[in-house]
Homo-oligomer: A and B are copies of this chain.
Amino acid sequence: MPPATLDLSQDVVALTEDLVNIESVSGDEQSIADAVETALRVLHHLEVQRFGHTVVARTDQGRDERVVIAGHLDTVPVNDNLPARRDESRLHGLGACDMKGGVAVALRLAATMPVTNRDVTYLFYDCEEVEAERNGLQLLSRSRPDLLQADFAILMEPSDGVVEAGCQGTLRVDVITRGRRAHSARSWTGVNAIHGAAEVLARLDAYEPRRPVIDGLEYHEGLNAVFISGGVAGNVLPDVCTVSVNHRFAPDRSVDEAHRHVREVFDGYDVELSDAAPAAMPGLSVPAAAAFVEAVGGTANPKFGWTDVARFSGLGIPAVNFGPGDPHLAHRQDEFVPLEQVRTVERQLRGWLETDA
């Protein structure tokens, strides 16, 4: 196969379609990263660098402010949803929604706006859909945090064209009850660990999640059992029962604070931490962020799902999600992006970055 090429001068919808048609399942981003790098290298207003399959392109106009505009190049696995298919109002196909529409917008801005009112760092990275250790943004934030420095960051994840600010943190623990095995015909000689989980589930069922308001946005927390397991055989009292609990917490708490809170909720039980990722403050009070929200319609919603905006937050950079496509369609076999929404998002960002004529 000849190397894929991208024409950044064409309409953003056509560009999205071309991007969808370059297969780029996580771990297989060589072709798409090559095409992006090649298309950007010819643009003299950009300094382009490549790290693995992550491409960074920066303007250097000496502006007072710098913003990051970022998108991941990879998709979840192919599911009989390639090549792209376009109808009157939608572009269908793997990655159309998550998130090649957003990548197309960023590439269009990079190619066609040699002059902007803020300096821009465009960032196209790999392995967002897989484990954190492979995530191109995470790798770059460790190896070259200087390249991510900015006053504000926009992650062009699908958000239905509305700003989603900050993100909740997530933490998983196993709450474990223990008993003593016995034959179920002589159950009084044992202790049933599943019965012992009654109180654990009762606390979960009675839990009243907080709904703190931060930067004007209400974050709705949650504490939920996501798995439960226990049992040895059909005639044996089980000696262990494990309830796996996922806590989603608002950005006013650190991972440590959230962990302490969960341990308090399950006081008296074994609580083992399995994984955690910090929340991200919305940071909408920062001037660049406030100006951005104003420019794209004045509305911002809290982001509940965890996203890479938290990685910027970890570097002290306020960040939001803003991109075309309904986030609920992400990872679905029938994902699509509305054509008009891709065009609107491009127009809004263009307006925000334009210098006063």
In the complex, the answer to whether B226 meets A188 with C-beta atoms within 8 Å is no
A214 interface residue (CB < 8 Å to B):
no
Name the interface size band of chain A. 35 or more
In the complex, the answer to whether A243 meets B194 with C-beta atoms within 8 Å is yes
Copies in the complex: 2
Q: Mark A182-208, 1 if CB is under 8 A from B, else 0.
A: 011111100010111110011011000
User: Considering the chains assembled together, what is the distance between the CA atoms of A228 and B220 in angstroms?
Assistant: 29
Contacts of A115 in B (CB 8 A): none
Contacts of A195 in B (CB 8 A): 201, 204-205, 224-225
Given A192-B225, A201-B201, the answer on whether A234 and B172 have CB atoms closer than 8 Å is: yes
Distance in Å from the Cβ of A287 to the closest Cβ of chain B? 29
Interface-centre pick from A168, A187, A226, A248 (highest chain B CB count, 10 A) = A226
In the complex, the answer to whether B197 meets A201 with C-beta atoms within 8 Å is yes
A246 interface residue (CB < 8 Å to B):
yes
**A234, closest chain B residue (CB):** B226
Of the candidates B202, B229, B246, which one forms a contact with A184 in the assembled complex, judged by CB atoms under 8 Å apart? B246
In the complex, the answer to whether B226 meets A227 with C-beta atoms within 8 Å is no
User: Considering the chains assembled together, what is the distance between the CA atoms of A234 and B226 in angstroms?
Assistant: 6
Contacts of A186 in B (CB 8 A): 220, 222, 304-305
A contacts with B: majority SS: mixed
Interface-centre pick from A183, A185, A222, A232 (highest chain B CB count, 10 A) = A185
In the complex, the answer to whether B227 meets A228 with C-beta atoms within 8 Å is no
- 15 residue pairs bridging A and B, Cβ less than 8 Å apart: A170-B184, A170-B185, A184-B224, A186-B220, A186-B222, A187-B209, A192-B224, A194-B201, A198-B202, A225-B230, A225-B238, A226-B237, A228-B241, A231-B244, A235-B246
New contact pairs (17) apart from A194-B201, A198-B198, CB-CB < 8 Å? A170-B235, A183-B304, A185-B304, A186-B222, A192-B204, A194-B224, A194-B228, A195-B201, A202-B202, A225-B231, A226-B232, A227-B238, A228-B229, A228-B230, A229-B229, A234-B244, A235-B246
